[in-house]
Every structure is written in structure tokens, then in C-alpha cells.
Amino acid sequence: MGLWVVAILVALLCKEASLVHGDIGTAKSYNPPYTPTRCNGNRQDQFPPGNLFVSVSEGLWDNGAACGRRYRLRCLSGAKKPCKDGTVDVKVVDFCSVRPCPSTLLLSNDAFAAISHSPSMKINVEYIQI
């Protein structure tokens, strides 16, 4: 009987545990205009369907090699419980033009709205290159 109780408790704890599979950083949204970008200037075809794209900070920029990289993002936490369930796949189109960059990733408004209820919040995210 005691072994069953322990097994049930372990199962419940595992269900509640949030495993992190990627890197951890912060994200904010940024507003248009989104062009010109450091990756492809004024070309409109650089933006993926649904406008799901990001501008990255120095740590991810990699001297421009980040252009075109794709990341899967998940909101982990933030003030006032901003996170939505699920993930969003985004494409790198720019280098953060603000010094210092306010977050690891600056998401387009559409990308940010896919993972957060609060458009003006800074959130903690998990991200993995896909």
C-alpha cells in the first residue's frame, strides 16, 4: 500500500515539473516599422508567414550568421502570469538595434501574442534552434 502512495506522488510531481530542453532567456515585443533589417534590408519576402519573426541580441547574433535561423520559443514566466500554453516558431530577421538590447529576443507583435497575454511585459522564455 505504501509503495502505491509513493508511486502516485512521484507521478503527480513529474506531471507538474516543467522540463527545460533549450536555452533560457528573456523576450519582449517590438513595434513596426520592421524594415530595414540587418539581414535583408527592405525586402518584404524575408518575413515568414504570420509575421512570426525575431530580432536577436548580441549573444545570438553571431556576426550575422543568425540571419534565417529558426527558433522554437515557449513562455516560462513573467509578472502577472503572462504565459499562454504552447510554443511559437520564429525566424531571425534582424539584430537588436537598441543598446543595450532590452532582452535576449525581441519578438514581432504577432510572435509575442502567440505566447503571451501581455504585449508590453518582459517574459522569461525557453528557446531552441530548430
Domain of residue 116, CATH code? 2.40.40.10
pTM beyond 0.95: no
Q: What are phi and psi of 68, to 5 degrees?
A: 85, -15
The pLDDT, as a whole number, for residue 120 is 87
Number of domains in the chain: 1
The answer to whether position 8 is within a domain reads no
The answer to whether position 90 is within a domain reads yes
Residue range(s) defining the domain that contains residue 99: 22-129
The answer to whether position 4 is within a domain reads no
The answer to whether position 10 is within a domain reads no
The pLDDT, as a whole number, for residue 61 is 97
The pLDDT, as a whole number, for residue 118 is 92
Beta 53-56 vs 88-95: how paired, if at all? parallel
Distance from C-alpha of 69 to C-alpha of 72, rounded to nearest angstrom: 10
The pLDDT, as a whole number, for residue 28 is 98
Residue with the three cell numbers 513529474: 14
Distance from C-alpha of 46 to C-alpha of 12, rounded to nearest angstrom: 44
pLDDT in tens, the chain (130 residues): 666 655 665 665 555 455 668 999 999 999 999 999 999 999 999 999 999 999 999 999 999 999 999 999 999 999 999 999 999 999 999 999 888 999 999 999 999 999 999 998 999 999 999 9
The answer to whether position 32 is within a domain reads yes
Written as nine digits, the cell of 12 is 503527480
